[in-house]
Amino acid sequence: MEKKRAIIIGATSGIGFELAKILSFDGYIIGITGRRLSLLEDLKKELKSQVFIKKMDVSHAESRGDLKDLIEEMEGVDLVIISAGTGSLDPSLPWDKEKETIEINVLGFTAMANVAYHYFNKKSSGHLVGISSIASIRGGEAPAYNASKAFVANYLQGLRYLLSKNK
């Protein structure tokens, strides 16, 4: 039986970090990405399966190519998890933090989801997972974060709709 292959975008901390450990334990070949190469290398040492590392900052447009390269390097993938994200709890709403949240959680997410969608659509199989939040259902004390997570949820619903129309 061929081993399953998964890429976790944003594996240096939080949910992505833990998912990498779980999928490795389950025997997946893992691709891990993040902005901090040293943390990816530390994680690789903990994982039990074959691991591919790709330094990637989803807030930059060239990350689309990085994801395509990683898929090719891994000789395909069955699962892409987009866990990269950020948010700020600062009621003064500093523009640099709001902008960073939008760049990573909306633009970066969309860039990665778009690559995964086209890859899976072409091969007629695969799973795309986007990490959203309960914050997606209403505004709150982190407006850019809440709005960005609503975007993630709605974008994924749109991709599901498109796939159902293609069948």
Average pLDDT value for residue range 103-131: 95
Distance, in Å, from the CA atom of 150 to the CA atom of 17, rounded to the nearest integer, reads 23
In the predicted model, is pLDDT for residue 167 greater than 70? no
Distance, in Å, from the CA atom of 88 to the CA atom of 9, rounded to the nearest integer, reads 20
What is the value of pTM for the model shown? 0.94
**Strands of the chain, DSSP E:** 5-9, 29-34, 51-55, 79-82, 127-130
* Of the options 3.40.50.720, 3.30.365.10, 1.20.120.610, 3.40.50.620, the CATH number for the domain spanning 5-166: 3.40.50.720
Please, how many CA atoms are within 13 Å of residue 135, restricted to the half-sphere of its CB? 20
Select which of 117, 119, 145, 155 is catalytic.
145
Domain ranges of the chain: 5-166
In the predicted model, is pLDDT for residue 88 greater than 70? yes
Which tens digit of pLDDT belongs to each residue from 9-65? 999 999 999 999 999 999 999 999 999 999 999 999 999 999 999 999 999 878 999
CA dihedral 19, 10, 69, 46 (to 10 degrees): -50
- Provide the pLDDT confidence category of residue 163 given band limits of 50, 70 and 90: confident
Distance, in Å, from the CA atom of 54 to the CA atom of 63, rounded to the nearest integer, reads 10
**Strands of 106-158, DSSP E:** 127-130
**Residue 117 a catalytic site member:** no
